[in-house]
Every structure is written in structure tokens, then in C-alpha cells.
Amino acid sequence: MKTILITGASSGIGYATAKILAEGNRLILCGRRLERLQQLQAELIDTPTLLLPFDVAKKEEVFTAFESIPTEWQNIDVLINNAGNAHGLASFQDADLDDLDAMIDINVKGLIYVTKACLPLIKNSDNAHIVNISSIAGKQAYANGTTYCASKWAVEALTKGMRLDFLPLGIKVTGIAPGAVETEFSLVRFKGNEDIASKVYQGYEPLKAEDIAANIAFAVNQPKHVQVADITILPQAQADATTILRTL
């Protein structure tokens, strides 16, 4: 039985990952929205769970939350850095600076804070493993997504760099880079505009959160000596970050 901490567990890929990893593991479920974490906890009735509500972008909150983890939960084996999102889709010149700040604060600084706070609890594990959720946007820059892409390029660099730095600590590091996944991602990107958000996924079959969760579980469930370095996952209809064939 592993103890697995998941950020952004209250929705989307994080939620689906919690569901798929619930069997046979203990889960620390993190997110900003306590009520949604409580709903998830209620669904995972047969799994030992600990709820840890905090905002990854708030440094003090992150460290205070980790300091509050009860002793019996302090041996963490797997950290899944899933929390992250996009704010706006606009040219760099037109983008709202607050949106750009938010993406760097959540996707980059948040991942750094959580990993720093978690390291003392994970480094003694025999199964230590960190999974960072990146994006196809971390491998290919696209117009109007400059800072989102930059934030995910940073996740790619953090993943590769951590894999080097953590070698002597025995911590495996995996990067998971999804393409188009139908979650609340686009709703957040387009600030609640359901019409625009749903169009992103029209005319083809996008990935589901469960598709990514299955790949995360694949990486997490490998034998101790096997380190899955990187997985990029696209819908069948997607060739790269900006090329999607819409035939449906």
C-alpha cells in the first residue's frame, strides 16, 4: 500500500487519478475547494484518505498545510503534481497581466512549493516517485498561449532537472504531457464561457480525464526499478498542439 498525494484532486485529471489509484493505496487529497474534496472522500469510502485543502500558489498556505499532516500520514511515497490551469487565450500583447501571473504562480511556483514542502516526507520512501503533469504546450509553443506554454516548458525543465537532482535520493520522476482533454480546463481558460469552452472539443473525440489517469497509474504502478520518464498522450485526432482533425 502506497501513500499518494494528489494536488488538484477535486476535479478533472486529479479527480480521475484519485479514483483509479484508490484501490490498495492511501490518498492525501489536495485542492482549494474543501467541499469538493469532501465529496470525493465520500465516494472513496473504502480508501483511507486525508483531506489537505490549500492553494498551491500561496507559499505560506502550502507549507502550513504540509506541517499539519498527522504523524501517521507523514510517510508519502508518491507525489502527483497535477494542480494547474490556463487563464485566457490571447496574444502576449493583449493578454491580461493578472492572467499571466496566475499561470506562473499556479503552474510553476505552485509545483515548486508543493515539491519543496513534500520532499522531507517523501525522501525516506522505498517507492519515492514524483509525477508532474505537463502538457503538449510544454513541448510546442502556440499563438495566444505564450505564457501558458512557458509555464509548461518550466514544468518540463523541472521534471528533467528533478530527475537529475533526485538521482542520489532514489526518487523517480515522471512527466505526463496530455494534449486535448475534455475537463474544466477550457472552462477555466475561457473564464466560465461554456460556448467557447465546448467548441474546443467539438468535431473529434477528445481525451477524457480517465485516459490520463490510466497513464499516471501505469507510471506509478511500475516495478521499483522502472522509471517512466515521459509520456505524451494525444487524442487520435490530434497530431500536435495546434493540429486537430475535426470530422465528426
Q: Which residues carry out catalysis?
A: 148, 152
Min dist CB 180 to ligand 8X3, Å, is 6
Asked if 28 touches ligand 8X3 (CB under 6 A), the answer is no
Q: What are the strands, taking DSSP E only, across the chain?
A: 3-6, 26-31, 49-53, 78-81, 129-133, 172-178, 181-182, 207-208, 230-233, 238-240, 243-244
Span from 33-41, 90-98, 131-139, 229-237 in contact with ligand 8X3 (CB under 6 A): 131-139
For residue 231, give the nearest of 121, 149, 138, 146 by alpha carbon.
138
Write the single-letter amino acid at 53. P
Asked if 241 touches ligand 8X3 (CB under 6 A), the answer is yes
Asked if 183 touches ligand 8X3 (CB under 6 A), the answer is no
Min dist CB 226 to ligand 8X3, Å, is 26
Q: Using CB under 6 A as the criterion, what x/- string covers residues 184-203 for binding ligand 8X3?
A: -x------------------
For residue 235, give the nearest of 176, 182, 174 by alpha carbon.
182
Asked if 137 touches ligand 8X3 (CB under 6 A), the answer is yes
For residue 178, give the nearest of 146, 143, 216 by alpha carbon.
216
For residue 79, give the nearest of 17, 161, 168 by alpha carbon.
17
Among 88, 179, 206, 235, binds ligand 8X3 (CB under 6 A): 179
Strands across the sheet containing 172-178 = 49-53, 26-31, 3-6, 78-81, 129-133, 172-178, 230-233
Q: In this complex, which beta carbon is closest to ligand 8X3, that of residue 122 or of residue 137?
A: 137
Q: In this complex, which beta carbon is closest to ligand 8X3, that of residue 2 or of residue 87?
A: 87
Q: In this complex, which beta carbon is closest to ligand 8X3, that of residue 47 or of residue 135?
A: 135
Min dist CB 94 to ligand 8X3, Å, is 18
The three grid cell numbers given for residue 87, joined into one nine-digit string: 487563464
How many residues bind to ligand 8X3 according to rule CB under 6 A?
A: 7
Give the DSSP letter string of 83-124: ---------TTTS-HHHHHHHIIIIIIHHHHHHHHHHHHHTT
Among 6, 18, 136, 155, binds ligand 8X3 (CB under 6 A): 136
Asked if 180 touches ligand 8X3 (CB under 6 A), the answer is yes
Q: In this complex, which beta carbon is closest to ligand 8X3, that of residue 81 or of residue 135?
A: 135
The site for ligand 8X3 (CB under 6 A) is made up of 135-137, 179-180, 185, 241
